Every structure is written in C-alpha cells, then in structure tokens.
C-alpha cells in the first residue's frame, strides 16, 4: 500500500470519528413551546455517553420554536436514582448559546453549550435533564438522556 492508501484506510476514518458529533437518543420531557429535532453530543462514541471527569462536552440541541420569545434560559439537572440535582453549566443564557434572539415561532435553532464534568463528580450513571425556558418559563425544549460518569 502506498502512503495515500494508508491515510485513507486508517487515518481518515479516525479523524472523521474524532470530529463527528454523535446523535444521541433522548426522551422528550415536555417541550411545550417547541419541537426537538436532534440532539448531538461531542464526543460521544458509545451510548450512553461516557463523560470523563475533568472534560467538557459539547451539547447541540436542534429544535423548532413554537413560540416568540425575547429570552431563553437553560436549567440542567442530573437525575440520580430519580432525584433531580442541579447540574451547573457556565452560561445559562440560551441567547448566548448559539441562539439568535428574539426567538421566532416556526424557526429552527441550534442551542450549543458545554457540559463540564468536574473531577470531583462520583463515577455513576445518571440521566441528564436539560431544559430551555422561554419568557414565560415554558420549555422550548426539555430533553433527557442517560450518561455515565467515568474517571
């Protein structure tokens, strides 16, 4: 095999794999003011996503709004054994997370944010519940997906 063939056969798929955000399976938990189309997490090569302590993950939620809204505010919980625990994110302003506000009805947006996994988190499986509320507190989206925190 020549060099080109080696690159194509081995390194190109690897590069694509590394740069490719994975579409994750999610459950809609009550997106009354919108409709979720797709949820991507990068990196997440296997599902449920394995979140390594000390790393940060890019979350991309693509949804179509069913409402007009000036603002949007995210709330994230980790649901551990059925109990929701606040999961802090650096910026809860959806209008600074890939969404151009004001949000307009019938327009599709991609909400993009980081999920930082702190080194002190326990190694457990949990469900991440991510909500984005509109002006009146109604959910533009509410999604749930399982994750596993690993060292």
Ligand X SMILES: *[C@@H]1O[C@H](CO)[C@@H](O)[C@H](O)[C@H]1NC(C)=O
Residues near ligand X (CB under 6 A): 21, 38, 40, 60, 62, 110, 112
Q: What minimum distance in Å lies between the beta carbon of 91 and ligand X?
A: 15
Q: What minimum distance in Å lies between the beta carbon of 108 and ligand X?
A: 9
* Alpha-carbon 142 to chain mean position: 11
Q: What minimum distance in Å lies between the beta carbon of 36 and ligand X?
A: 11
> By Cβ distance, which residue is nearest to ligand X?
60
Q: What minimum distance in Å lies between the beta carbon of 143 and ligand X?
A: 14
Q: What minimum distance in Å lies between the beta carbon of 60 and ligand X?
A: 4
Name 103's bridge partners: 69
Closer to ligand X by Cβ: residue 38 or 64: 38
Cα separation, 129 vs 67, whole angstroms = 21
Name 139's bridge partners: 133
Closer to ligand X by Cβ: residue 62 or 71: 62
Q: How large is the C-alpha radius of gyration of the chain?
A: 17
Torsion of CA 107, 109, 16, 57, to 10 degrees: -160
Closer to ligand X by Cβ: residue 95 or 112: 112
> Kindly report the CA angle at 20 between 18 and 22, in degrees rounded to 5?
115
Closer to ligand X by Cβ: residue 60 or 69: 60
Cα separation, 64 vs 27, whole angstroms = 16
Closer to ligand X by Cβ: residue 21 or 101: 21
């Amino acid at each position: 095999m020549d060099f080109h063939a080696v690159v194509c056969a081995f390194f190109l798929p690897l590069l694509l794999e590394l740069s490719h955000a994975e579409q994750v399976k999610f459950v809609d938990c009550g997106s009354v003011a919108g409709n979720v189309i797709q949820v991507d997490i990068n990196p997440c090569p296997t599902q449920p996503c394995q979140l390594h302590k000390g790393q940060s993950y890019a979350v991309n939620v693509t949804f179509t709004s069913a409402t007009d809204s000036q603002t949007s505010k995210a709330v994230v919980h980790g649901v551990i054994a059925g109990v929701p625990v606040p999961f802090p994110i650096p910026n809860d302003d959806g209008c600074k997370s890939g969404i151009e506000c004001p949000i307009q009805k019938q327009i599709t947006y991609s909400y993009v944010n980081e999920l930082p996994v702190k080194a002190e988190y326990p190694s457990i499986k949990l469900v991440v519940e991510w909500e984005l509320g509109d002006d009146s507190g109604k959910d533009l989206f509410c999604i749930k997906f399982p994750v596993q925190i690993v060292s």
